[in-house]
Amino acid sequence: MTEKELIKKSIEYRKNILKYIFHANAGHTGGSLSCIDILNVLYNHVMNVSPENFKSTDRDRYIQSKGHSVEALFVVLADKGFFPESDLKTLCKYGSHYIGHPTRKVNGVEQNTGALGHGLPISAGTAIGAKLDNKKFRVFTLLGDGELPEGSNWEAALIASHYKLDNLCAIIDYNKLQITGPTAEVCNTDPIDAKFESFGWTVRHVDGHDLNKLKETFDSLPFTVGKPNLVIAHTVKGKGISYMENVIKWHHGVPSEKQYEDAISELDNAMITIPDDF
């Protein structure tokens, strides 16, 4: 996929996230917008996973620990052909499989998540499973910075290093905001890099909205042979919609009709202004 196509994908994904959250009148808007560029690069550039190989034991795995940003995952899975995008019209409706957190009832979802602090332990177990069978697949898991106080993360951080899981890549959507306020004020988890490094991980920082930088970062996996990998993706909650960026109420705020139309036209303008030299 060309760089321009990848940029277009991000804009389309943002439009769809807003479309289906607006339609459902529910969703985790800010966090879905902060992590969508990461998912775009993972699913369209990094990971070997598709509807065709989803039953294969060799596929790369993606486990979303910050399950509440499910809208980002669903729009990407729909785009990859795991299910028709029109299914998302049922998001959060009575009887729908498309609920407010990842569930394996939706094709393409690896694990049921939603309770925080679960993705890293399961991912570590999956990465150990790959090592036991000498399989080459990799395991990617996306965490929110707000879920780091969950102790199970640190139990898994220890074991990932103990078992030298260089096939495991955790990504922190470091948007610095959570439902109550700035993460640094709720329970400061900084410095994240020094903590994980002291646990035996190799840590890379990246601009979580710079698609090229994300590609470069993931292309250089494993960062160190024999060590688990952490990508701290510096992101902006609500990224792409000016009135949502860094505003806490958009954690799970749903736009009004006017706000929705403004957001879509902002994204349409962004599409028009993609430079040709990409």
Partner 1 sequence: MGAVTEIEQGKVKANLDVFSNTLQDLAQHDRDIIVVTSDSRGSGKLAPFGQKFSAQHIEVGIAEQNLIGVAAGLASCGKKVFAVSPACFLTARALEQIKNDVAYSDNPVKVIGISAGVSYGALGSTHHSLHDFAALRAINNIIVVAPADNFETEKAIQLAAKTDHPVYIRFGKKAMPPLKEVNDDVFEFGKGRVITEGNDVAIIATGETVYPALQAAKKLQEQNIAATVVSMHTIKPLDASLLAELANKCKAVVTVEEHSVYGGLGEACASYLMQRNIFKSFRIIGIPDEYTVTGSQQDIFNHYGISEEGIAKEVMQLLNR
Nearer CB in complex with partner 1: 104/249 = 104
By CB under 8 A, tell whether 78 contacts partner 1. Answer: no
| Count of chain residues binding partner 1 (CB under 8 A) | 32
| Shortest distance, position 111 Cβ to partner 1, whole Å | 5
- The tokens describing 157, both together, are 């951080």
| Shortest distance, position 154 Cβ to partner 1, whole Å | 9
By CB under 8 A, tell whether 112 contacts partner 1. Answer: yes
Nearer CB in complex with partner 1: 129/222 = 129
By CB under 8 A, tell whether 104 contacts partner 1. Answer: yes
Nearer CB in complex with partner 1: 114/253 = 114
By CB under 8 A, tell whether 152 contacts partner 1. Answer: yes
By CB under 8 A, tell whether 200 contacts partner 1. Answer: no
Name residues contacting partner 1, limited to 246-275 (CB under 8 A): none
Q: Which residues bind partner 1 (CB under 8 A)?
A: 57, 104, 110-115, 117-118, 120-130, 132-133, 139, 151-152, 155-156, 158-159, 162-163
